[in-house]
Structure 1
């Protein structure tokens, strides 16, 4: 856990050793002070005044330095845990990323990391310091009297055995609490995301009841953890106090027998405290550490790089053709979305992909963008199988404009350039073709205008224009529009698509429900999908002339559009 901070860890341990030695040394200082007082030794008393002043100063410096080192090590380690989690989550390909609810990722990065900090990292460092104090105190106690040292070992064994028995049940409850936090976060995320539905369908009362129930369940799980922790701490404290009092009675007996000086009584009292308190700390923390192990295992699982189907290193080159041959794919076993699909996209040509909802259009372009690697058949770029390519370099060839536009909570400009540098002519081209330049004058600060959470400060059409500009500014050779103009009006959508179709150096694949004949005639090919495969392919007029599936689909869509317009 501390492997990235070995020097800092070594410094923390070294300072803890020094502080532990100084803590034990207090017993000898107290012994000499008491002996000076009982014996009326003013010379020794005056000497101990000076020693005490210097000792307090030294302990203060050591304690401060040790605490700072421990806190810095804790902060850096927690930072590493978060970074590892973030890196592991985003190392997943789309297929593996979607297998886990995003609320689980959020819960791991917040709740689980907090549990690891409070129940593993901090207790572990405390246990190290306590162990050092314990070892030094035990050696000093045996120097004073081996019998007392032996009695203390017996007492400490009882302190260890009883509380440690709670570690396993505590681990079970801690794991249940972690899962409860994840579920709680997931349901909260759903409620926040569904705010509009909750409001419009008058579900506020039900939402409050659901939240109250979930909050109660989480509180019960948390109390289950804390109840066992309290039992562990209570047992440790009880056994610690009993052990300390017992040792003091034995020591007092030796003093009364004249076998030990009175100052030794105070020294052993101090040393017994230096034994009992560290053991109590260790016993309190041991169940915490053991109990949090399932949470740590979960973090390690999420932090680990996930094997991906896309492990290739071949640099993709797109000069001729992207080909799907016999491709099959389904999100769920036994439920194919694509079935023996064959299709080819030539460089520089424009394709309109149409078909009823659920026929596999979006899935096809997701596979093209290396979103899922568990397909059957072959997908190749200029003859190179997709799974053999370097995925990062492949994605550098493809821009996608999604139907559901996502904007970062940044400025318009930052959502377009994504904090990369572009030339002025590249900016002008992207803003002009997308139409962003048409509404910038109406904004507060032009490209520097903040868009708010997911673009809440912009209209749907403005958000989609920003997405188009973002896709165009990098001048990638392939552009995919997955209903990419659905949020703008028909006239604007027509203008944007027309501008894209005029770009000779761009391969365009458009998933669309806008079936305007004069626009579709401009595409090199219309690809009509049915039941997971390309059912018809050709120019618009030739497909209409066949009076097949596309012609029927186009007729139905046109009739529905007319009905909507009449309404």
Structure 2
């Protein structure tokens, strides 16, 4: 637990120092009360006047120290949670695609919001308070034994009972707190899912049903939290009752000693004050311990998220792409029993253009994802200029590859940010990217040009505009390898043709396009057509050569053309 404060040691040490000061002043109050009461009983007005001035000075010092201690404690809490959140964020963002996808986005959101709140309220704050009150307890215990060994022994006996009773429920509280955290993650997941699919729900008139689903999940969250809070209330109640019993017992025993003449009345008041300084900290610590234990599983999960997941790509060689990329008997499946690629082999020459075609599900997108180092668990080999992908520095590999996907993701930022992603480029690069992508054709018509806010997921732009922005983002870096994963499907045929034609004219660019557009005038623009079927490259060659061959590609294109023109087929 103390590891939470490892990165703010000086601040944490200052908090301990302030705690010692508060504890010392708390115990000193008992001595001041004792002297004041004895002065009153002895009718010593001069001594009473002195003690009155001492008491006023004490109050001023106590107020100043308490305020400073509270401010330092708040700063420690804020810093500890900020550091933990930063660690978890870095751990999540350092994951590669393969490990990032092991959890849903909602799980990450819940960890950075709900779980952080649990750690703050159930671990950090209770732990700091426990340390503070432990210092008060220790000083009060020493003072009690100084006044009376009998009273000190009674207080320690009561302490054992105060610890045993509430601690019995600590483990169960931890399990219920973990269940609450899990339910929060589920709720966050379904909220994110339903809000993202709002348009579908509205179109299908399922808003009321979705509202009921969210209400049910919300009730489940409340139920899990109440189950944990019930046990916390039981623990706090037991601690409070034991504390009250212990204070009453101390008062009775001390009263008997005063009646016997074995103790002064002022000492009675001092012991009563110290018993409060002894019991209250123990009660608070006993209340805090179950909370800390309850939050431990959540903190453990956050620490796991904060550790970078080991990547399957651990190579350190600098990649060089000057000749070719070779796929050698590559096999892969997202599930072991359902292979997507089966012994696929192909060679892609640098500077040439390739178009991947085939039925949906044949493995086209999976193939380019492997090339973009999104998954490491494939069989066979993917070699870039003779060096296998696993042996290369994968971050340097990503510096060579740009990808435009069918569903272009836009951030809720300006149009400029969505192209540059916060990086700086020369005017020449900007002009080139805007021209090739066609963004320059509409940018003047959308309000503030590059400074236009695109909205969440680009909601203020059309589908075609969003896709053009994605193309501009991919080519502004001028990387040697560009993948269009149906990247022009969201624009009309003429615009798609214009974009692809512009890309095909870029010197020294290796272009790999996945498309369902089988128009001859488009496919003839590419150097090579790769026809995929059942996870393999079944045919490879120029468009005209494959048509002349009258093999699988020719049949596939003929069938697609027939499906695209049902009226003409019926006329025949």
Say yes or no: TM over 0.5.
yes
Q: Deviations over 1:129-169 (max 9, x none)?
A: 01000000000000000000000001111111000111011
Structure 2 match to 1:64: 67
2:565 aligns to what SS in structure 1?
A: helix
**In the alignment, structure 1 residue 14 sits paired with structure 2 residue 17:** yes
RMSD: 1.3
Structure 1 match to 2:352: 349
Match of 2:432 among 411, 422, 429: 429
Q: CA deviation at 1:555?
A: 1.3
Give the Cα–Cα distance (whole angstroms) in 2 for the partners of residues 86 and 40 of structure 1.
Answer: 67
Q: Could you list the runs of 5+ residues in structure 2 that have no partner in the other structure?
A: none
> Do the aligned partners of 2:562 and 2:569 also contact (CA within 8 Å) in 1?
no
Match of 2:160 among 157, 161, 185: 157
Within 5 Å, give how 1:105-144 maps onto structure 2: 105-144=108-147
1:76 aligns to what SS in structure 2?
A: helix
Deviates more, 1:365-374 or 1:94-103: 94-103
Match of 2:482 among 479, 484, 506: 479
Q: When the two structures are aligned, how many residues end up with a matched partner?
A: 567
Match of 1:505 among 487, 504, 508: 508
Match of 1:542 among 545, 548, 557: 545
Give the Cα–Cα distance (whole angstroms) in 2 for the partners of residues 565 and 448 of structure 1.
Answer: 48
**In the alignment, structure 1 residue 322 sits paired with structure 2 residue 325:** yes
Give the Cα–Cα distance (whole angstroms) in 2 for the partners of residues 120 and 385 of structure 1.
Answer: 47
Structure 2 match to 1:447: 450
Give the Cα–Cα distance (whole angstroms) in 2 for the partners of residues 428 and 211 of structure 1.
Answer: 47
Structure 1 match to 2:470: 467
Q: CA deviation at 1:334?
A: 0.9
**In the alignment, structure 1 residue 400 sits paired with structure 2 residue 398:** no
- TM, length-normalised to structure 2: 0.98
Q: Deviations over 1:463-485 (max 9, x none)?
A: 00000000111101110000000
Give the Cα–Cα distance (whole angstroms) in 2 for the partners of residues 380 and 41 of structure 1.
Answer: 97
Give the Cα–Cα distance (whole angstroms) in 2 for the partners of residues 564 and 140 of structure 1.
Answer: 99
Give the Cα–Cα distance (whole angstroms) in 2 for the partners of residues 37 and 439 of structure 1.
Answer: 89
Q: CA deviation at 1:545?
A: 0.8
Q: CA deviation at 1:82?
A: 0.8
Give the Cα–Cα distance (whole angstroms) in 2 for the partners of residues 565 and 317 of structure 1.
Answer: 50
Q: Deviations over 1:312-348 (max 9, x none)?
A: 1111111111111010100012110010010111110
Q: Deviations over 1:423-461 (max 9, x none)?
A: 101100000000000001111100000000010010000
Give the Cα–Cα distance (whole angstroms) in 2 for the partners of residues 294 and 383 of structure 1.
Answer: 47
Within 5 Å, give how 1:521-540 maps onto structure 2: 521-540=524-543
Q: CA deviation at 1:205?
A: 2.4
Q: Deviations over 1:345-383 (max 9, x none)?
A: 111000001111000000000000100000000011111
Q: Deviations over 1:38-82 (max 9, x none)?
A: 111111111112111211111112111111111111111101111
Q: CA deviation at 1:33?
A: 1.0
Structure 2 match to 1:496: 499
Q: CA deviation at 1:297?
A: 1.1
Give the Cα–Cα distance (whole angstroms) in 2 for the partners of residues 238 and 255 of structure 1.
Answer: 26
Give the Cα–Cα distance (whole angstroms) in 1 for the partners of residues 436 and 308 of structure 2.
Answer: 40
Structure 2 match to 1:371: 374
Give the Cα–Cα distance (whole angstroms) in 1 for the partners of residues 351 and 155 of structure 2.
Answer: 84
Structure 2 match to 1:409: 412
> Do the aligned partners of 2:412 and 2:457 also contact (CA within 8 Å) in 1?
yes
**In the alignment, structure 1 residue 257 sits paired with structure 2 residue 270:** no
Give the Cα–Cα distance (whole angstroms) in 1 for the partners of residues 343 and 148 of structure 2.
Answer: 85
Structure 2 match to 1:210: 213
Structure 2 match to 1:335: 338
Give the Cα–Cα distance (whole angstroms) in 1 for the partners of residues 312 and 348 of structure 2.
Answer: 23
Change (3 A) 1:566 1:132: farther
- TM, length-normalised to structure 1: 0.99
Give the Cα–Cα distance (whole angstroms) in 2 for the partners of residues 392 and 532 of structure 1.
Answer: 27
Change (3 A) 1:502 1:249: same
2:339 aligns to what SS in structure 1?
A: coil
Q: CA deviation at 1:546?
A: 1.1
Match of 2:523 among 520, 541, 550: 520
1:292 aligns to what SS in structure 2?
A: helix
Give the Cα–Cα distance (whole angstroms) in 2 for the partners of residues 142 and 172 of structure 1.
Answer: 39
